[in-house]
Homo-oligomer: A and B are copies of this chain.
Amino acid sequence: AAAPAPKPAKKYLTYEERAKLATNPTASKLFNIMATKKTNLAVAVDLTRKQEVLNLADSIGSEICVLKTHVDIIDDYDQDFVHQLEQIASKHNFLIFEDRKFADIGNTVKYQFESGVYHISKWAHMVTIHGVAGPAIIDGFRDSIKQTGAGLLLLAQMSSKGSLCVGEYTNQMIEMGKQNSDAVMGFICQERLESMSDNFVLMTPGIQFNSKGDSMGQQYNTPDYVVKEKGTDVIIVGRGIYQNSEPKSEAIKYKQAAWAAYESRLN
């Protein structure tokens, strides 16, 4: 028998095309921002004083599509911080991503998302969830998301050493996303898998030019590797930018590298 024909190379769509296929409103909005601003760079700002976060956001805002926060590490968090951050996001046209990693039962995450001192549902365009508690976690977000159009990002793979987000677990997250594609805007992952359809945004943390890892299990890849070789959409850079003495010029370097990788994969 003849050898099977080689599989055709994966055809990548543009972010403009993906915006039209998106099934969650924030996914569509994000693809459009990426196309308009020509950036697929998200920056994680893990600083613990609100003024530091705001200063960095304003400084790099023109270079990014998404700012990723952990509001629960900010020592002087208050509602004024959120108001100012929203103004900066609006001025620079980026989205706010609270990386809360919700991971409880539906009834609990509903309160964690909507209540407490943070009222995350009121200001975050997107949040991360772990599907480990089962698909009903998504029901905890549905009421609020119906009103705001916010997006959930399911953790399908993680960048840390020994992560259990692998194999069959990853497959189940993709399935959970597909069955809830009104609420789920995409995946946190390390690679594009065939089962991840074009309506989803694929975001990849653990990106840094010059480091192999930290002392607590974090592992790093480069922008070119994850966007061109692994086919994900948005790079998330943390310490490589916010700990750099010149974060703005460093952000430009990451933006250019990730965008070049995106353009290159279209050809």
Whether B215 contacts A165 by the Cβ 8 Å rule is no
| A152 to B: closest C-beta gap in Å | 15
Any B CB within 8 A of the CB of A58: no
Whether B160 contacts A106 by the Cβ 8 Å rule is yes
Any B CB within 8 A of the CB of A218: yes
Q: Which residues of B contact A110 (CB under 8 A)?
A: 216
Q: Which residues of B contact A118 (CB under 8 A)?
A: 72
Q: Which residues of B contact A115 (CB under 8 A)?
A: 48, 73-75
Which chain B residue lies CB-closest to A107?
Answer: B216
* Residue from A72, A111, A159 having most chain B Cβ neighbours under 10 A: A72
Whether A108 contacts B46 by the Cβ 8 Å rule is yes
Q: Which residues of B contact A105 (CB under 8 A)?
A: 158-160, 216-218
Whether B116 contacts A72 by the Cβ 8 Å rule is yes
Question: Cα distance A163–B140 when bound, in Å?
Answer: 15
Q: Which residues of B contact A214 (CB under 8 A)?
A: 106-107
Q: Which residues of B contact A103 (CB under 8 A)?
A: 101, 103, 130, 132
Any B CB within 8 A of the CB of A86: no
Question: Cα distance A73–B116 when bound, in Å?
Answer: 4
Given known A111-B48, A112-B73, A214-B107, contact A132–B134 (CB-CB < 8 A): no
Question: Cα distance A162–B144 when bound, in Å?
Answer: 23
Q: Which residues of B contact A101 (CB under 8 A)?
A: 103-104
Identify 14 residue pairs between A and B in the complex whose beta-carbon atoms are under 8 Å apart, listed by A's number.
Answer: A46-B107, A46-B111, A70-B111, A72-B118, A75-B115, A75-B116, A105-B217, A106-B214, A106-B218, A132-B155, A133-B158, A133-B165, A133-B217, A134-B158
